[in-house]
Amino acid sequence: MLRWAKRAVLGLVVLAVVVSAPIVWIEGFCTSVRDPAARPPAPLVNDPGYARRESDSYLSFPEWHIVYAYEDLAGVLRGGDESDFAYGRQITGFWRSLCGLTRVVTARSDVAFDTKVMLYTIGWSFTAELGIQGAYEKTGGRLFEWLRGPGKTPEDEFAAQDMQAYAAFLRQTPWYEYPFASRLAAFWRETPLGGPHQARKIERRGVVTLEYGTKAVYGAVIGYASATALGAADLEISTVIVGLQPGDVAHDARVKIVRELGGGRTLIRTPRYQAYTDLVIALARRGRDVAEIAGNRRILISVLVPKGPLPALPGATPLFEAPIQSRPDRRRVGLDVTVPQLAATIRALESAGASVEHIYDY
């Protein structure tokens, strides 16, 4: 009993070291000395709940890195198999992005404790999920792929198609709201039990059932905890637009005018997340400009650009770039943009053949 107790304690110590290592690295080596000149200007609007933390824009990217990882996996599965995916690169990409953006944020302000807890929690959940999945798919999964041959089974096709749906779902909705249980039922209902490549079929049924079943249970727990501890998230955000026209509101009913501020500026209320990106891009294309977003004058955006240098972008500073496995003709670049230059930056990027992937609201 004493021997087993020592082994258990040793295992817990090793687990604690492994879990704490990236946190210690980020807290110890990924912070910056505060810039005394980094104090932001006063917001244009003093309404309660209007202003949000600037840091939340930058530190929301690691969350979106997870979304992009699943999009990349979906892209790989369109023509390949799970074993082709670069799991390790996606894991290190999360922690590298968190480190780099923490340096940017801490030069201007503190990082809220609840934000740190959330990022470390999802970081380790993502690391564990992709680590386990990658370890299996690169070994046992690859063996069953070899036994199957080049043609895919109905189980492979279902998983690939559902990954497309899951990746699109994550653009606007938290992962734990995905209907894993009903999709698992559809998997068993829609894929025939008979047919060739029985070894691969049985193996995929086991893998998908374990994955979706685990996520259904874990997602229900996380969803309940989020609703209980944090309450319902605010799904709208306020923005000051310059030059808004009546046709802009008629063009998209999601744009709600709060009031006129004078000087050609209008306070509007819109949805957040991916819908916000789409709305701002549409306004920029119609020649509108942005004066302020939720009390902030700086924001993070990511763009998908072809090979070659970026166009001249006044008011925008590149922060990072990363390859995209399923789209080797494009790379993801993160830009630190002054909000008054945001619309002009969007127009310049699109004129140069690049596309704005996401505007990280607060």
pLDDT band at 156 (very low <50, low <70, confident <90, very high): very high
| pLDDT number for residue 4 | 76
- Mean pLDDT of the chain, nearest integer: 92
Cα–Cα separations (whole angstroms), residue 43 to 55, 83, 273, 294, 295: 15, 49, 22, 8, 5
Residue 328 confidence (pLDDT) above 90: yes
What is the model's pLDDT at position 6? 67
pLDDT the model gives residue 229: 64
Q: Average pLDDT for residues 152-170, to the nearest whole number?
A: 96
Q: What is the mean pLDDT of residues 89-104?
A: 97
Q: Which residue has the higher pLDDT, 106 or 10?
A: 106
Quick one: pLDDT at residue 37? 74
pLDDT at 176: 92
What's the CA gap between 299 and 237, in Å, rounded? 14
CA distances from 38 to 46, 110, 156, 300, 358 (A): 21, 12, 51, 16, 25
Provide the b/e sequence for 306-327 (b: ≥16 CB within 10 Å).
Answer: eeeebeebeebeebbebeebbe
- Across 187-200, average pLDDT: 96
Query: What are the phi and psi torsion angles at 259 (to 5°)?
Result: -175, 165
Give the pLDDT score at 230: 60
- Cβ pair 248, 255 in contact under 8 A: yes
Locate the domains of the chain by residue range: 54-229, 236-359
Instruction: Of 15-19, 59-63, 301-305, 307-311, give the lowest mean pLDDT range.
Output: 15-19
Q: What is the pLDDT of residues 225-243, one digit of tens each?
A: 777 766 666 889 999 999 9
Mean pLDDT over 336-350 rounds to 96
- pLDDT tens readout for residues 15-69: 666 778 888 899 999 999 987 777 788 999 999 999 999 999 999 999 999 999 9
Polymer length of the chain: 362
133 against 21, higher pLDDT: 133
Task: Say what the pLDDT of residue 232 is.
Answer: 63
17 exposed, middle or buried (CB, 10 Å; 0-12, 13-18, 19+)? exposed
Q: In what order do the strands lie in the sheet with 331-338?
A: 316-323, 331-338, 298-305, 355-359
